[in-house]
Structure 1
Amino acid sequence: MRLLVTRALTPAVEARVAEEFDTTFRNGAAPMSVEEARAALAEYDALLVTLGDQLRAEAFAPAPRARIVANFGVGYNHIDVAAARAAGVSVTNTPGAVTDATADIAMTLILMSARRAGAGERFLRAGAWTGWTPTQFLGQHVTGKRVGILGMGRIGRAVARRCHYGFGMEVLFHNRSKVAEPGLPAKQVDLDRLLEKCDFVVIAVPASPETHHMIGAAEIAKLQPHAHLINIARGDIVDEAALIAALEAGGIAGAGLDVYEREPFVPPALRARENVTLLPHLGTAALEVRDAMGFMALDNLIAFRDGKAPPNTV
């Protein structure tokens, strides 16, 4: 099988991939365009792709040579899975490997947003700090507050555990289906109640047509003025323009974002705000995690090559 790897991976993963397949490493910093994706699907038997590679419906027409697309990552909203299936192409992802690292980033953003850590660091680096004072950079306490988790899947549960057992937080959550046993003291509520009652709201739902702009102006307006909105899922779940308007109007206290609606573009209005913590999609950016993701993607490819069902077909 001829395999195209669209981005540079960790050395350990690239070495194993090269041993298993006739591999071409694209190694580009930019994601594939739709035109590049169409050409790759026509030339290779398999693709190992990742966030941003534009495998839209038109990339799968005419009928491609490729029979499998292995996604490096748990989110796959950049791939038109229905079009892939119609063209006879299997799609896989890498769930599980990303859970704890992404939950850790959620906690990083909660703490940075509540305690104004980003603004404080910028202040210090600018040479403006003249010493400790009792009222400087007053933020919000995190311990003992109420957190709302939007999406109680693997990552949502991992965030909830950290909040409850690490910081003594009360946990509310909203999920599209009933969760009989969340694994910790937590209460399932409707979305409106979660937004209205929580000090921190963490978005951990998968991106899909149903969750596009799930958090818009009406939903943000339900948040309390002291609330912080944290997004570790996908950028287009939040209406970015509505979030900016709420922040500028003082409707919420702050936001912590690891993902953006039009990555890598981040609106200047967000970059200019001192009450927004912005990270460059660091959710899984740990060597051990990126190795695990790569090996999981490789396991999916090997299983398919050997005539077996890939363990993580979407």
Structure 2
Amino acid sequence: MSTEAPRLIRSIRLLNAAEDRIKTEFTAPPPPEKSLKTPALLELAKEFQPFAVVLTNNAPLKGKDVDALPECVKLVSTVSVGLDHLDIPALHARGIAVSNTPNVLTDCNADLSMMLILAACRRAAEYYTLMKNGWHHGLGMGGMLGHRVTGKRLGIVGMGRIGQAVAKRARGFDMTILYHNRSRLSAAEEAGATYFEKLEDMLPHCDVLTLHMPGSPSAPPLMNSQTFSLLPKGSVFVNAARGSLVDEDALIEALESGHLFGAGLDVYRQEPNPNPRLTALPNIFMTPHAGSATIETRTAMCMLALDNVEALAKGLPMPTPVTV
């Protein structure tokens, strides 16, 4: 009877603590020097015959990619919450389990969302550009004024773990919390927030709107010309959820026209090459899909991905299986 540790491959080098764990608890090839794309990952799977494939959205598995996985693969463990890069029904149809890494990144995503809100309202991108180019003259009384965040009305679309964590932080700025969700939360979870069953009814009341819901490239954008027009003139838009939720042409138009004061974005329809018309706008504060990008959170994500591999290999329930 073989006593070999569970065999795994990964599409990307994990953080040091996770790589150290792989050396002692798993059988694996050396970490890749650079992120593996899907064809290279599939070739490695064919050669190494792993029990589990640990990956990120840089190596999507869909359609024929799923068919190409060898029979030995019993788990695809993604180091992410999002599942857009995986064909879940196809994987399950082949008897391959799927796991992801929710919960551990809630706080850091909420922190980043608050940074985007503050930066967009207080013109951080423009201030930074001014300083980098040389601050040669003082600003007049009305020069480069932003919007106060304290006391504003914050609309949250998607009041799950991250949405609720953003609401908690926003209350520290005395913001009034409004939210739209598939279903209303309990009174304890709402914590005084106002629920709107219809998004269109909430939008006119939002000084700041932030998205925290799943996205799908095949679904029409949630935010388009019509929904942007329902926001008050001079409002701020923030998206740290999914780029597919936004019609970027409509967003650009709203920013250029002045209907929106500014925007804070962490996600884009085209990653890692966002629309250059977006990046050219002065009133956008942009980050590179970095919501979970802290040492603490990324380490926790890597470890949770390995926890799922370990559990399934031992015949135990996985901590965070994907069941839909």
TM-score (norm 2): 0.91
- Aligned pair in 2 of structure 1 residues 248, 88: CA closer, same or farther (>3 Å)? same
**1:22 partner SS:** coil
**From 76, 79, 85, the counterpart of 2:92:** 85
Instruction: Tell me which residue corresponds to 1:207.
Output: 215
Measured at CA, do residues 49 and 63 of structure 1 come closer, stay the same or move farther in structure 2, by a change above 3 Å? closer
Number of residues paired by the alignment?
A: 312
- Give the 3-state SS of the residue equivalent to 2:260 in structure 1: coil
Q: Quick one: structure 1 residues 86 and 276, their matched pair in 2 at CA, closer, same or farther if it must change by over 3 Å?
A: same
Give 2:74's aligned residue: 67
Displacement of 1:294 in angstroms is: 1.1
Residue type of the partner of 2:243?
G
The change in CA–CA distance for 1:75 and 1:212 in structure 2 (over 3 A counts) is farther
Aligned residue number for residue 236 of structure 1: 244
Greater shift in the superposed pair: 9-18 or 203-212: 203-212
Aligned pair 1:256/2:289, yes or no? no
Q: 1:179: which partner in 2?
A: 185
Are the counterparts in 1 of residues 99 and 321 from structure 2 also a CA contact under 8 Å?
A: yes
- Structure 1 CA distance for aligned equivalents of residues 301 and 271 of structure 2: 21
- Corresponding residue of 1:198: 206
Paired letter, 2:37: M
One-letter amino acid of the structure 1 residue matched with residue 84 of structure 2: N
Q: Does 1:46 align with 2:60?
A: no
Residue type of the alignment partner of 1:167: F
- 3-state SS in 1 of match to 2:98: strand
CA 41–191 in structure 1, closer or farther in 2 if over 3 Å, else same: farther
* Structure label with greater radius of gyration: 2
Which of these residues, 2, 6, 20, is aligned with residue 11 of structure 2?
Answer: 6
Instruction: Report how far residue 63 of structure 1 moved.
Output: 5.8
Which region of structure 1 is more displaced relative to structure 2, 123-132 or 294-303? 123-132
Letter in 1 for 2:163: G
Post-superposition offset of 1:30: 4.5
Equivalent-residue separation in structure 1 for 2:301 and 2:233 (angstroms): 38
**TM-aligned CA deviation for residue 184 of structure 1:** 1.5
Residue 30 of structure 2 is aligned to residue 22 of structure 1: no
| Partner of residue 97 from structure 1, selected from 93, 104, 107 | 104
Aligned 8 A contact 1:31 1:54 in 2: no
Q: Say yes or no: does 1:149 pair with 2:156.
A: yes
Structure 2: gaps (5+ residues): 1-5
After superposition, where does 1:132-171 map in structure 2 within 5 Å? Answer: 132-164=139-171, 166-171=172-177
Distance 1:223 1:211, change over 3 A: farther
8 Å CA contact 1:152–1:173 kept in 2: the answer is yes
SS at match of 1:253: strand
Confirm or deny: 8 A CA contact 1:5 1:25 kept in the other structure. no
Q: Sequence identity, in percent? A: 37
User: Post-superposition shift, 1:213?
Assistant: 1.5
2:217 and 2:244 in contact (8 A); partners too: no
Contact 2:234 2:258 in 1 (8 A): no
* Other structure's SS at 2:232 match: coil
Q: Any gaps of 5 or more consecutive residues in structure 1?
A: none
State the Cα distance separating 1:86 from its structure 2 match.
Answer: 0.9
One-letter amino acid matched to 1:207: G
Deviates more, 1:198-207 or 1:60-69: 60-69
Give 1:99-114 correspondences, 5 Å limit: 99-114=106-121
Letter in 2 for 1:39: E
Q: Provide closer, same or farther for how the CA distance between residues 286 and 212 of structure 1 changes in structure 2, counting only shifts above 3 A.
A: farther
The letter of the residue matching 1:16 is R
What is the identity, as a one-letter code, of the residue corresponding to 1:239?
D
Q: Deviations over 1:38-70 (max 9, x none)?
A: 435544321111123211122111463311011
The answer as to whether partners of 1:152 and 1:175 remain within 8 angstroms in 2 is: yes
SS of 1:256 mapped into structure 2: strand
Superposed CA offset, 1:196-239 (max 9, x none) = 21011110002246865122222122122211111111111112
Q: Quick check: 2:42–2:69 contact (8 Å CA) kept in 1?
A: no
Q: TM-score, normalised by structure 1?
A: 0.93
Sort the Cα spacing of 1:129 and 1:309 in 2 relative to 1 into closer, same or farther, 3 A: farther
127-136 vs 235-244, which moves further: 127-136
1:152 partner SS = coil
Match for residue 3 of structure 2?
none
